[in-house]
Chain A
Protein backbone atom coordinates (compact mmCIF):
# COMPACT_ATOMS: atom_id res chain seq x y z
CA UNK A 1 0.00 0.00 0.00
CA UNK A 2 1.76 3.16 -1.14
CA UNK A 3 0.65 6.46 0.34
CA UNK A 4 0.77 10.05 -0.83
CA UNK A 5 2.30 10.75 2.52
CA UNK A 6 5.92 11.29 3.44
CA UNK A 7 7.31 11.05 6.92
CA UNK A 8 10.46 11.88 8.85
CA UNK A 9 10.04 9.08 11.32
CA UNK A 10 13.35 7.43 10.57
CA UNK A 11 15.20 10.74 10.94
CA UNK A 12 13.47 11.60 14.21
CA UNK A 13 14.14 8.12 15.48
CA UNK A 14 17.81 8.35 14.57
CA UNK A 15 18.11 11.75 16.28
CA UNK A 16 16.78 10.29 19.50
CA UNK A 17 18.68 7.01 19.16
CA UNK A 18 15.60 4.82 19.27
CA UNK A 19 15.04 1.53 17.51
CA UNK A 20 11.73 0.78 15.81
CA UNK A 21 10.97 -1.58 18.64
CA UNK A 22 11.64 1.06 21.32
CA UNK A 23 9.48 3.63 19.54
CA UNK A 24 6.68 1.13 19.06
CA UNK A 25 6.79 0.24 22.76
CA UNK A 26 6.73 3.94 23.70
CA UNK A 27 3.60 4.75 21.72
CA UNK A 28 1.96 1.37 22.35
CA UNK A 29 1.78 -0.07 18.86
CA UNK A 30 3.39 -3.13 17.30
CA UNK A 31 6.89 -2.88 15.80
CA UNK A 32 5.59 -3.67 12.34
CA UNK A 33 3.31 -0.64 12.58
CA UNK A 34 6.40 1.58 12.88
CA UNK A 35 8.40 -0.22 10.20
CA UNK A 36 5.54 -0.10 7.68
CA UNK A 37 4.84 3.59 8.39
CA UNK A 38 8.50 4.39 7.78
CA UNK A 39 8.55 2.74 4.36
CA UNK A 40 5.17 4.27 3.40
CA UNK A 41 3.36 0.94 3.29
CA UNK A 42 0.91 1.82 6.03
CA UNK A 43 -0.88 5.14 6.58
CA UNK A 44 -1.32 5.55 10.34
CA UNK A 45 -4.52 6.67 11.99
CA UNK A 46 -4.78 10.22 13.27
CA UNK A 47 -4.39 8.92 16.81
CA UNK A 48 -1.11 7.15 16.04
CA UNK A 49 0.16 10.17 14.09
CA UNK A 50 -0.58 12.47 17.03
CA UNK A 51 0.99 10.05 19.49
CA UNK A 52 4.16 9.96 17.39
CA UNK A 53 4.29 13.76 17.20
CA UNK A 54 3.72 14.07 20.92
CA UNK A 55 6.43 11.53 21.62
CA UNK A 56 9.00 13.53 19.65
CA UNK A 57 7.57 16.79 21.00
CA UNK A 58 7.08 18.27 17.54
CA UNK A 59 4.00 19.37 15.57
CA UNK A 60 2.48 16.54 13.57
CA UNK A 61 3.43 18.38 10.35
CA UNK A 62 7.09 17.88 11.29
CA UNK A 63 6.54 14.13 11.23
CA UNK A 64 4.11 13.72 8.33
CA UNK A 65 3.51 15.71 5.16
CA UNK A 66 1.54 15.23 1.99
CA UNK A 67 3.78 14.19 -0.87
CA UNK A 68 4.19 16.84 -3.55
CA UNK A 69 2.34 16.01 -6.76
Chain B
Protein backbone atom coordinates (compact mmCIF):
# COMPACT_ATOMS: atom_id res chain seq x y z
CA UNK B 1 0.00 0.00 0.00
CA UNK B 2 1.59 3.26 -1.06
CA UNK B 3 1.09 6.70 0.35
CA UNK B 4 -1.36 7.60 -2.41
CA UNK B 5 -3.34 4.35 -2.51
CA UNK B 6 -4.98 3.79 0.88
CA UNK B 7 -7.17 0.72 1.38
CA UNK B 8 -10.27 2.48 2.59
CA UNK B 9 -11.71 5.82 3.73
CA UNK B 10 -10.25 5.46 7.22
CA UNK B 11 -6.72 5.24 5.82
CA UNK B 12 -7.47 7.88 3.18
CA UNK B 13 -8.35 10.22 6.04
CA UNK B 14 -4.90 9.67 7.56
CA UNK B 15 -3.29 10.26 4.16
CA UNK B 16 -5.17 13.53 3.67
CA UNK B 17 -4.03 14.77 7.06
CA UNK B 18 -0.48 13.61 6.32
CA UNK B 19 -0.51 15.47 3.02
CA UNK B 20 -1.48 18.63 4.90
CA UNK B 21 1.73 18.33 6.88
CA UNK B 22 3.91 17.61 3.84
CA UNK B 23 2.35 20.43 1.83
CA UNK B 24 2.97 22.84 4.73
CA UNK B 25 6.58 21.62 4.97
CA UNK B 26 7.10 22.13 1.24
CA UNK B 27 5.53 25.59 1.39
CA UNK B 28 7.86 26.43 4.31
CA UNK B 29 10.82 25.34 2.19
CA UNK B 30 9.68 27.54 -0.70
CA UNK B 31 9.45 30.58 1.59
CA UNK B 32 12.83 29.74 3.13
CA UNK B 33 14.33 29.72 -0.37
CA UNK B 34 12.72 33.13 -0.97
CA UNK B 35 14.47 34.48 2.12
CA UNK B 36 17.78 32.98 1.02
CA UNK B 37 17.31 34.41 -2.47
CA UNK B 38 17.24 37.92 -1.02
CA UNK B 39 20.79 37.51 0.29
CA UNK B 40 22.23 35.31 -2.47
CA UNK B 41 24.39 36.32 -5.40
CA UNK B 42 22.88 36.67 -8.86
CA UNK B 43 23.71 33.15 -10.06
CA UNK B 44 22.60 31.40 -6.87
CA UNK B 45 19.46 33.55 -6.74
CA UNK B 46 18.54 32.23 -10.18
CA UNK B 47 18.81 28.63 -8.98
CA UNK B 48 16.83 29.41 -5.83
CA UNK B 49 14.14 31.04 -7.93
CA UNK B 50 13.89 27.91 -10.10
CA UNK B 51 13.75 25.70 -6.99
CA UNK B 52 10.82 27.75 -5.68
CA UNK B 53 9.03 27.29 -9.00
CA UNK B 54 9.58 23.51 -8.84
CA UNK B 55 8.29 23.43 -5.25
CA UNK B 56 5.22 25.42 -6.16
CA UNK B 57 4.54 23.14 -9.14
CA UNK B 58 4.93 20.08 -6.89
CA UNK B 59 2.19 21.37 -4.63
CA UNK B 60 -0.03 22.02 -7.63
CA UNK B 61 0.81 18.91 -9.68
CA UNK B 62 1.31 16.27 -6.95
CA UNK B 63 -0.51 17.25 -3.80
CA UNK B 64 -3.66 18.89 -5.11
CA UNK B 65 -4.54 16.11 -7.64
CA UNK B 66 -3.67 13.40 -5.08
CA UNK B 67 -5.90 15.16 -2.59
CA UNK B 68 -8.89 15.11 -4.96
CA UNK B 69 -8.17 11.60 -6.30
CA UNK B 70 -8.16 10.18 -2.76
CA UNK B 71 -11.34 12.04 -1.90
CA UNK B 72 -13.12 10.84 -5.07
CA UNK B 73 -11.86 7.25 -5.00
CA UNK B 74 -13.96 6.15 -2.08
CA UNK B 75 -17.73 6.22 -2.26
CA UNK B 76 -19.95 7.65 0.42
CA UNK B 77 -19.23 10.63 2.60
CA UNK B 78 -15.50 11.14 3.13
CA UNK B 79 -13.98 10.90 6.61
CA UNK B 80 -12.74 14.42 7.03
CA UNK B 81 -9.57 14.48 9.14
CA UNK B 82 -10.08 18.17 9.92
CA UNK B 83 -13.69 17.91 11.05
CA UNK B 84 -14.02 14.53 12.76
CA UNK B 85 -13.13 14.65 16.45
CA UNK B 86 -10.41 12.05 16.01
CA UNK B 87 -6.69 11.90 16.63
CA UNK B 88 -5.52 13.56 13.42
CA UNK B 89 -7.89 16.47 13.95
CA UNK B 90 -6.38 16.95 17.41
CA UNK B 91 -2.85 16.73 15.95
CA UNK B 92 -3.70 19.43 13.39
CA UNK B 93 -5.18 21.66 16.10
CA UNK B 94 -2.15 21.23 18.36
CA UNK B 95 0.22 21.86 15.46
CA UNK B 96 -1.70 25.02 14.57
CA UNK B 97 -1.44 26.22 18.16
CA UNK B 98 2.29 25.46 18.25
CA UNK B 99 2.77 27.27 14.94
CA UNK B 100 0.93 30.32 16.25
CA UNK B 101 2.83 30.34 19.56
CA UNK B 102 6.21 29.96 17.83
CA UNK B 103 5.43 32.75 15.38
CA UNK B 104 4.23 35.00 18.20
CA UNK B 105 7.40 34.40 20.24
CA UNK B 106 9.64 35.03 17.22
CA UNK B 107 7.80 38.28 16.42
CA UNK B 108 8.07 39.39 20.04
CA UNK B 109 11.80 38.67 20.08
CA UNK B 110 12.25 40.50 16.77
CA UNK B 111 10.55 43.63 18.12
CA UNK B 112 13.08 43.72 20.95
CA UNK B 113 15.91 43.38 18.45
CA UNK B 114 14.62 46.08 16.11
CA UNK B 115 17.96 47.82 15.59
CA UNK B 116 19.88 44.61 15.17
CA UNK B 117 17.53 42.79 12.84
CA UNK B 118 14.47 44.70 11.67
CA UNK B 119 16.29 47.81 10.50
CA UNK B 120 18.54 45.65 8.31
CA UNK B 121 15.78 43.60 6.69
CA UNK B 122 13.42 44.57 3.91
CA UNK B 123 9.76 44.24 4.91
CA UNK B 124 9.18 41.68 2.14
CA UNK B 125 12.03 39.47 3.40
CA UNK B 126 10.84 39.78 6.99
CA UNK B 127 7.34 38.70 6.01
CA UNK B 128 8.73 35.72 4.07
CA UNK B 129 10.81 34.79 7.13
CA UNK B 130 7.81 34.95 9.46
CA UNK B 131 5.73 32.85 7.06
CA UNK B 132 8.59 30.33 6.84
CA UNK B 133 8.71 30.05 10.63
CA UNK B 134 4.94 29.71 10.94
CA UNK B 135 4.69 26.99 8.26
CA UNK B 136 7.81 25.13 9.40
CA UNK B 137 6.75 25.07 13.04
CA UNK B 138 3.26 23.90 12.04
CA UNK B 139 4.63 21.12 9.82
CA UNK B 140 7.30 20.01 12.30
CA UNK B 141 4.95 19.89 15.27
CA UNK B 142 2.30 18.14 13.18
CA UNK B 143 4.77 15.37 12.32
CA UNK B 144 5.75 15.08 15.99
CA UNK B 145 2.17 14.98 17.27
CA UNK B 146 0.91 12.60 14.60
CA UNK B 147 3.85 10.20 14.50
CA UNK B 148 2.59 6.72 13.90
CA UNK B 149 1.85 4.13 16.53
CA UNK B 150 1.25 1.14 14.31
CA UNK B 151 1.52 -1.39 17.11
CA UNK B 152 -1.38 -3.77 16.95
CA UNK B 153 -2.49 -3.16 13.39
CA UNK B 154 -2.83 -6.90 12.90
CA UNK B 155 -6.00 -8.45 14.27
* Chain B residue contacts of A35, Cβ below 8 A: 148-153
Q: Once bound together, how far apart are the Cα atoms of A30 and B70, in whole Å?
A: 14
* Cβ-defined partner of B153 (8 Å) among A17, A19, A25, A29: A19
Q: Once bound together, how far apart are the Cα atoms of A44 and B84, in whole Å?
A: 11
The reply to whether the CB of A2 lies closer than 8 angstroms to some CB of chain B is no
* Cβ-defined partner of A33 (8 Å) among B87, B153, B155: B87
Tell me the chain B residues, 1-50 only, with Cβ under 8 Å from chain A. Answer: 7-11, 13-14, 17
Distance to closest chain B CB from A30 (angstroms):
4
Interface residues of A, dominant DSSP: helix
* Cβ-defined partner of A30 (8 Å) among B81, B149, B151, B152: B81
* Cβ-defined partner of B155 (8 Å) among A19, A37, A41: A19
The reply to whether the CB of A67 lies closer than 8 angstroms to some CB of chain B is no
Q: Once bound together, how far apart are the Cα atoms of A37 and B79, in whole Å?
A: 17
Distance to closest chain B CB from A57 (angstroms):
18
The interface of chain B, by Cβ under 8 A from chain A, is 7-11, 13-14, 17, 77, 79, 81, 84-88, 90, 146, 148-155
